[in-house]
Structure 1
């Protein structure tokens, strides 16, 4: 990992570490907004208060949370796929030799160039592994967060406060990174492949080739940098979400 950082900085400067920032932001706007919005809406619809009780309604059970997170993740994967392809390509561009780089100026320039050169279908290259990854990510991240939060409050006697949110989101980040690692490897290889490389290669064929060449070690290749990225991201996301919901309830008098 440090060798990769060094290679990028030597050949592209410090700004090379931020290649794909516009694509990453576009991905969050399309992918994360869609999956979080659908998940919270479905969860709220399935959380029915008891009119005879003054206690807050209990959240849905684990199986229900897994079901709604699967639906929201799948839809979010489709919505965010074009930006995700661009994000992967722009980030990998800095590590390629100069003659092999695509040199997209920003995410929108890259989307236009991809459509012109490779057709509209290229925007959804890797959509199935990406949607599978989105399902796994949403289920392992959102459903596990709600489950860990419930355990912290009911089993460990913690209050519904910042400490609980931090603890539950840290554990959710660990689970999400581990569950999604194999799919991330497959998704990245498909999205960075040239049209000639990807032609005639199915996902099953790619899996067979990787296992033959690299063994099972490929499943967790890049786990540490993934956790370094996803762990803080998960913590920041859920802490912000909880504070946002708290402020919203206060403003609405809920």
Structure 2
């Protein structure tokens, strides 16, 4: 279920993700290559008009793959780390355990997703001329030739700064929700 929901979420969120990547990387482009979207709606309209509706789904496969990997790695590693904290480290099933397990799950998810994040960002930020006819394997080959294996973890720290707190909040709220649900249903 985690993989399916991640995959569907990756597809549904792809237009916003493409726009986000483009708007963030716009300032780094030479002035003549900048897109200069006024706001998100302007960006979506201009992308659709100038590049066609398919531009909204540029990078959908790496994006959906990333969403599958993130969701599955978060859920599986959280449960594993929670069990280790309780069974091996002698921690109680409490807030400290949930925080520790979710922090570690965020670390795992960030690491698992990092290579796909790099690919996704490069595919989404490429101009139509740059991406014309280049496969993902071709992109990987070019990145590896220029950057070696370090490419796979480029941007890891900012990704963790974003995904770590998100993962912690998600699992802390989940555990509190489960506790409240059990209290309500057992009453």
- Residue number in structure 2 paired with 1:148: 81
What's the secondary structure of 1:103's corresponding residue?
coil
- Residue number in structure 1 paired with 2:125: 192
Unaligned runs of 5+ in 2: none
Matches within 5 A, 1:124-203: 124-203=57-136
- Residue number in structure 2 paired with 1:243: 176
CA change 1:149–1:221 in 2 (3 A) is: same
Q: What is the TM-score with the length of structure 1 in the denominator?
A: 0.68
Q: Which has the higher contact order (CA 8 A, sep 6+)?
A: 2
Structure 1 residue 172 displacement after superposition: 0.4
- Residue number in structure 1 paired with 2:156: 223
| Kept in 2: contact 1:173–1:227 (CA 8 A) | yes
Q: Aligned partners of 1:145, 1:249: CA distance in 2, in Å?
A: 20
- Residue number in structure 2 paired with 1:40: none
Equivalent residue pairs, number: 187
Unaligned runs of 5+ in 1: 1-67
- Which structure: greater helix fraction? 2
Give 1:111's match in structure 2, choosing from 39, 44, 66.
44
- Residue number in structure 1 paired with 2:26: 93
- Residue number in structure 2 paired with 1:84: 17
Q: What is the TM-score with the length of structure 2 in the denominator?
A: 0.90
